Amino acid sequence: MSDDHHKPSFARRWFMSTNHKDIGTLYLILAIIAAVIGGGMSWYIRLELMEPGIQYIDDFQFYNVLVTAHGFLMVFFVVMPAMIGGFGNWFVPLMVGAPDMAFPRLNNISFWLLAAGLILLVIAGLTGGGPGTGWTVYPPLSAKDYHPGMAVDLGILSLHLAGASSILGAANFITTIFNMRAPGMTIHRMPLFVWAILVTAFLLLLALPVLAGALTMLLTDRNFGTSFFIVEGGGDPLLWQHLFWFFGHPEVYIIIIPAFGIISEIVSTFSKKPIFGYLGMAYAMSAIGVVGFVVWAHHMFMTGLDVDTRAYFVAATMVIAVPTGVKIFSWLATMWGGSIEFKTPMLYAFGFIFLFVVGGVTGITLANAGMDVAFHDTYFVVAHFHYVMAIAAIFAMFAGFFYWIGKMCGRQYNEGLAKLQFWIFFIGVNILFFPQHFSGMAGMPRRIPDYPDPYAGWNYVSSIGALITAIGTFLFLYIAWTTIRSGEKAEANPWGEGATTLEWSVDSPAPFHTHEILPDMTGKAPAE
């Protein structure tokens, strides 16, 4: 590769970048910064909840702001940037054999819109009491009557920017994947991670404009006298819930489908086998994406839907378990008879599958309208969605980090320390979230800073889990830092024969420009 003499200045390289790898790195850095802020908020929340009574947070609006900001940060500024912006930018062009993204300058705009969105969100948190609406921003709580300051407006603008960033990014990914595949890299030979990003990009493209529309209605309701959601003006607050969840449910698949892609790559690599049922895996993701758009009202079982509507949403929701089951069993079948190597990425992949199954099972529980009436807005729901999309997503991100860090920075992590970090984190998150099923079934409501004494025991255990998770998080930051500073030199392919995708065919670290001569995939097996 003859391109390493190409060295733009620091400011040019990092602030005006059009290089998919540098932009991917920027996304990952932003995600780590946001994760530390969002994680810090959750630890503060758990500190307050460790014992009944009010210990640290006597301003309840501030507690609501913490809960809200934690949700926004983790969804829009940690998981999405890391998986789609970070790993997606880094590895989609590498894996399909393209020299860069289709619209490199648009890629730069996407990143900096997101950075501006993060800054706006922080400003919102510091303005006039902050937005204490929950990440769902339901009116009338989010209307002018209950949030008179500018905080909610700033929060809305922050989400607008994050949404615009994701829409532009999604259009970029779709164009890249459709138009810039190497010769012979047919749609049915693309690595599953590329498939995952493709499906995710379509979900983003269809779901985020609806959020943008709803947020604009809320903004004009608050400031310009419209009445989309204001009852006395002829509006309907329930309309917000429909629009929000029409975006919000696909959003959870936007978060988890890239994770499916990462896990598929890793399971195949470390089992030294091609993935079992490649086409089934690809179309299972597509099916999840399609069905994900017609199940939104299962978030609204408590809003007085009539019994037939509820029956439909229960059934449609449960149907999603079928393609999801296809994925789980295909991963297991890939491992079956494989020569499995328990490197850290594989441990994290195992961890992901375990956590995702636990969260999936409670998801089937909650899909029943009858049971949801009892569990609605309790810690059971909190435990469910943290298992299925929060910690499962984080596990996939850690898996991807350890899998690809050698390719990204040219240095390999310390295997012993990383395994220790996995076990601390795995034990920590389970102690943190498993007991919340129990408090939830006992009726503990979510989004409250104080609770009756009978809930004290499991809340204490849960907070201990948060402490262990925090130790695991800081150990991860230490590992990441020492790897980048002084890790061992990584080979082009540190994983051996199982790693067959195209990113392992270039040097580590991946040179500034790759695939200048397009690789020819004609006649080869699916990349996975």
The catalytic residues are 70, 100, 135, 165-166, 249, 251, 253, 264, 298-299, 324, 327, 446
Q: Which of residues 90-119 bind another protein (CB under 8 A)?
A: 102-103
C-alpha distances in Å from residue 496, one per residue of 271, 492, 500, 501: 11, 10, 9, 11
Question: Between 211 and 388, whose beta carbon lies closer to another protein?
Answer: 211
Among 18, 61, 127, 227, interactor with another protein by CB under 8 A = 227
Question: Between 175 and 286, whose beta carbon lies closer to another protein?
Answer: 175
* Residue 18 touching another protein (CB under 8 A): no
Q: Which of residues 456-515 bind another protein (CB under 8 A)?
A: none
* CA–CA dist 253, 243 (Å, integer): 17
How much of the chain is helix, strand and coil, in % rounded to 5? Answer: 70, 0, 25
CB neighbours of 307 closer than 8 A, spacing ≥ 6?
Answer: none
* Residue 418 touching another protein (CB under 8 A): no
- Candidates 207-215, 379-387, 419-427, 516-524: pick the segment binding another protein (CB under 8 A): 207-215
- What residue ranges in 204-361 does DSSP mark as E strands? none
Helix (H, G, I), strand (E, B) or coil at 37: helix
Q: Which of residues 276-305 bind another protein (CB under 8 A)?
A: 303-304
Helix axes 192-223, 89-96, angle to 10 degrees: 140
* Residue 171 touching another protein (CB under 8 A): yes
Using CB under 8 A, count the residues that bind another protein. Answer: 34
Q: Which of 24, 186, 30 is nearest to 93 (CA)?
A: 24
- Candidates 91-99, 202-210, 325-333, 340-348: pick the segment binding another protein (CB under 8 A): 202-210
* Residue 55 touching another protein (CB under 8 A): no
* CA–CA dist 300, 238 (Å, integer): 9
Q: Which helix (H) or strand (E) holds 489?
A: strand 488-489
Structure tokens at 41: 């908020």
In SS3 terms, 310-326 reads as HHHHHHHHHHCHHHHHH
* Residue 230 touching another protein (CB under 8 A): yes
Among 174, 316, 319, 357, interactor with another protein by CB under 8 A = 174
Tallying the residues shown for the chain, one arrives at 528
* Residue 243 touching another protein (CB under 8 A): yes
Question: Between 295 and 490, whose beta carbon lies closer to another protein?
Answer: 295
* Residue 370 touching another protein (CB under 8 A): no
Structure tokens at 400: 């991807």
Minimum CB–partner distance for residue 190 and another protein (Å) = 16
Minimum CB–partner distance for residue 483 and another protein (Å) = 36
* Residue 144 touching another protein (CB under 8 A): no
For every residue of 336-384, DSSP letters joined together read TTS-----HHHHHHHHHHHHHHHHHHHHHHHHSHHHHHHHTTBHHHHHH
Minimum CB–partner distance for residue 31 and another protein (Å) = 24
- Chain centroid to CA 236: how far? 31
Minimum CB–partner distance for residue 224 and another protein (Å) = 12
CB 96 within 8 A of CB 515: no
* Residue 209 touching another protein (CB under 8 A): yes
Among 33, 47, 206, 219, interactor with another protein by CB under 8 A = 206
* Residue 365 touching another protein (CB under 8 A): no
Among 91, 111, 193, 228, interactor with another protein by CB under 8 A = 228
* Residue 441 touching another protein (CB under 8 A): no
Minimum CB–partner distance for residue 215 and another protein (Å) = 10
CB neighbours of 5 closer than 8 A, spacing ≥ 6?
Answer: none
Q: Rule CB under 8 A: which residues touch another protein?
A: 102-103, 167, 170-171, 174-175, 178-179, 205-207, 209-210, 212-214, 217, 225, 227-228, 230-233, 236, 238-239, 242-243, 303-304, 306-307
